Chain A
Amino acid sequence: MKLITAVVKPHRLDEIKEALQAFGVHGLTVTEASGYGRQRGHTEVYRGAEYTVDLVPKIRIEVLVEDDDAEQLIDVVVKAARTGKIGDGKVWSIPVDTAVRVRTGERGPDAL
């Protein structure tokens, strides 16, 4: 199994979700995150005092998939997340030893 993690722009969430559903993914986890890459941050002004806000809001999407689906699923996420502008984010995958469905106790790919 692989854990696919995508850190992307918040407003792309719906497109990514729809693309993943069309691909046949049954579940995913979304968390709000903040960070920066090449995009860096932005400047805010309060009563003339400028603040550099370098952590910008992102969402982190996590999906567990079988090894064979991983590369294709990464492509699906990348395509749905892309706007072509700086700050679109990153997608990566890491191997996962095991997974358990809490309700039934099923293990491995059966738990997905």
Chain B
Amino acid sequence: MAPAITLAAEAPKLSAANTGFMLICSALVMLMTPGLAFFYGGMVRVKSTLNMLMMSFISLGIVTILWVLYGFSMAFGTDSGSLIGWNSDWVGLGNIGLTELWPGYTIPVFVFLVFQLMFAIITPALISGALADRVKFSAWALFIALWATVVYFPVAHWVWGTGGWAFELGVIDFAGGTAVHINAGAAALGVILVIGKRVGFKKDPMRPHSLPLVMLGAGLLWFGWFGFNAGSWLGNDDGVGALMFVNTQVATAAAMLAWLIYEKIRHGAFTTLGAASGAVAGLVAITPAGGAVTPLGAIAVGAIAGVLCAMAVGLKYKFGYDDSLDVVGVHLVGGVLGSLLIGLFASGKGQSTVEGLFYGGGLTQFWKQCAGVFAVLAYSLIASAILAFILDKTMGMRVPEDDEVAGIDQAEHAETAYDFSGAGGGAAKTAATAPVAAAASKKVDA
């Protein structure tokens, strides 16, 4: 995120252009969560499609309410101990003036907070890909609320809040490599180590049921990511947001190509899923780095992420952890790569004058990046595992095995994703719908 721009002695004035741009960016970031839902939803088997979609959508509901009540205050309120924020005026968002500016910027507080809300929504949704087919929906909903409170709000404060330790140390995270992707990826690993594998992992075929849905989701993510990345500069007064926009496109293109070439050599085909996964890996990796590198640097960051993430998704079979849709392999690995590569590829001509190793800046920034990466990784991994452990011991995280095998959609949502039979699967109205029908016919009689 941008450092506060204080133009000489002049206090920033509200910019309608920046405000409009940031509201559009907020809507773009919102669209990423449904995009993610389809990206993940197409990758599971038919029987758990709806559950996968709902695991993302429910975050739009829960985190929004928490953000209004106390989330924004915790993440961006007055710092205490470099660890957490608080501002009681922001509880409920009722005492914020319409034209009150976010300190040091040209956009209202309301614009800043809604943009940041969309980040808080998608981060827990990202975790859900590792938990496919097997998590009780009520337990997932509660997990989101607890995780946002205990992990996301504090980590967002460390990385982006004034006074947060990583922010003050000078860790560069333009749009959320640490706070969003490493955070979600490490959390996914923590939770799956507690709840275990899907029934039949490594034995049953678990092919994606709809690659067109995956491609649709990847396309929506790519589109929305321009808002996520370019918007993270919170304005367009110095062109850094536009550099980020360009680098987002460049790194994503490079990563998609790199993943495809790697798997053509290694597995013999250019796969659709490889194209979608490579694109997402590139988007993840450029997220922290895009403001610091040149477009050629972005090609390097994207290509490295494309190949290494393609290699990393195989690790789960080797080590036996069921990261169902590769949240660790893509988001954790991609986030770590993007964050660390800043220490090598920062050009000094983007968001700041900080130079990485390849531009004569030595390893100073690299060590700072390491500190940010590993602190977020360790905290999120441990805290998420503890949360999952508590939920598992109290309400139970997993659905009964029978329900998991038969399909979580019917067990948890009382629906099926697709009706393939012309006869409607033999569906008939039951007593539950009768009163409505009776009431309707009464009205006609009268």
Q: Which chain A residues border B207 with CB–CB below 8 Å?
A: 44, 46, 51
Q: Which chain A residues border B205 with CB–CB below 8 Å?
A: 51, 53
Give the interface segment out of B85-93, B137-145, B264-272, B425-433. B264-272
From 43 to 71 in chain A, residues with beta carbon under 8 angstroms from any chain B beta carbon are: 44-51, 53
Q: In the bound complex, how far is the Cα of B313 from the Cα of A110, in angstroms? A: 63
B277 at the interface (CB under 8 A from A): yes
Q: In the bound complex, how far is the Cα of B329 from the Cα of A45, in angstroms? A: 17
A-B contact pairs, 9 of them (CB 8 A): A44-B207, A45-B267, A45-B269, A46-B273, A47-B274, A47-B310, A47-B313, A47-B326, A51-B205
Q: Which chain A residues border B277 with CB–CB below 8 Å?
A: 47
On whether the beta carbons of A48 and B263 are closer than 8 Å, the reply is: yes
On whether the beta carbons of A46 and B269 are closer than 8 Å, the reply is: no
Q: Which chain B residues border A49 with CB–CB below 8 Å?
A: 314, 317
Residue among A46, A49, A50, A53 with the highest chain B CB neighbour number at 10 A? A46
Q: A45-B268, A51-B205 are in contact. List 9 more A-B contacts (CB 8 A).
A: A45-B263, A45-B271, A46-B271, A46-B273, A47-B271, A47-B274, A47-B326, A48-B267, A49-B314
B208 at the interface (CB under 8 A from A): yes
Q: In the bound complex, how far is the Cα of B207 from the Cα of A44, in angstroms? A: 9
Binding site for B on A (CB under 8 A): 44-51, 53
Q: C-beta contact mask, B307-339 vs A, less than 8 Å → 1, else 0?
A: 000100110010000000010010000000000
On whether the beta carbons of B208 and A46 are closer than 8 Å, the reply is: yes
**Main SS of the interface on chain A?**
strand
Q: Which chain B residues border A47 with CB–CB below 8 Å?
A: 271, 273-274, 277, 310, 313-314, 326, 329
From 224 to 280 in chain B, residues with beta carbon under 8 angstroms from any chain A beta carbon are: 263, 266-269, 271, 273-274, 277
A30 to chain B, nearest CB (A): 15
Q: In the bound complex, how far is the Cα of B271 from the Cα of A47, in angstroms? A: 8
Which chain B residue has the least Cβ–Cβ distance from A43?
A: B268
Q: Which chain A residues border B267 with CB–CB below 8 Å?
A: 45, 48, 50
B313 contact from A48, A51, A53, Cβ within 8 A = A48
Q: Which chain A residues border B317 with CB–CB below 8 Å?
A: 49
Q: In the bound complex, how far is the Cα of B267 from the Cα of A48, in angstroms? A: 7
Q: C-beta contact mask, B276-294 vs A, less than 8 Å → 1, else 0?
A: 0100000000000000000
Q: Which chain B residues border A51 with CB–CB below 8 Å?
A: 205, 207
On whether the beta carbons of A48 and B266 are closer than 8 Å, the reply is: yes
Q: In the bound complex, how far is the Cα of B268 from the Cα of A50, in angstroms? A: 11
Q: C-beta contact mask, B201-228 vs A, less than 8 Å → 1, else 0?
A: 0000101100000000000000000000
A81 to chain B, nearest CB (A): 27
Which chain B residue has the least Cβ–Cβ distance from A51?
A: B205
A55 to chain B, nearest CB (A): 11
A100 to chain B, nearest CB (A): 23
From 66 to 110 in chain B, residues with beta carbon under 8 angstroms from any chain A beta carbon are: none
Which chain B residue has the least Cβ–Cβ distance from A48?
A: B314
Which chain B residue has the least Cβ–Cβ distance from A54?
A: B205
Q: In the bound complex, how far is the Cα of B265 from the Cα of A74, in angstroms? A: 46
Which chain A residue has the least Cβ–Cβ distance from B277?
A: A47
Q: Which chain B residues border A50 with CB–CB below 8 Å?
A: 267
Which chain B residue has the least Cβ–Cβ distance from A49?
A: B317
A96 to chain B, nearest CB (A): 26
A77 to chain B, nearest CB (A): 27
Q: In the bound complex, how far is the Cα of B209 from the Cα of A44, in angstroms? A: 13
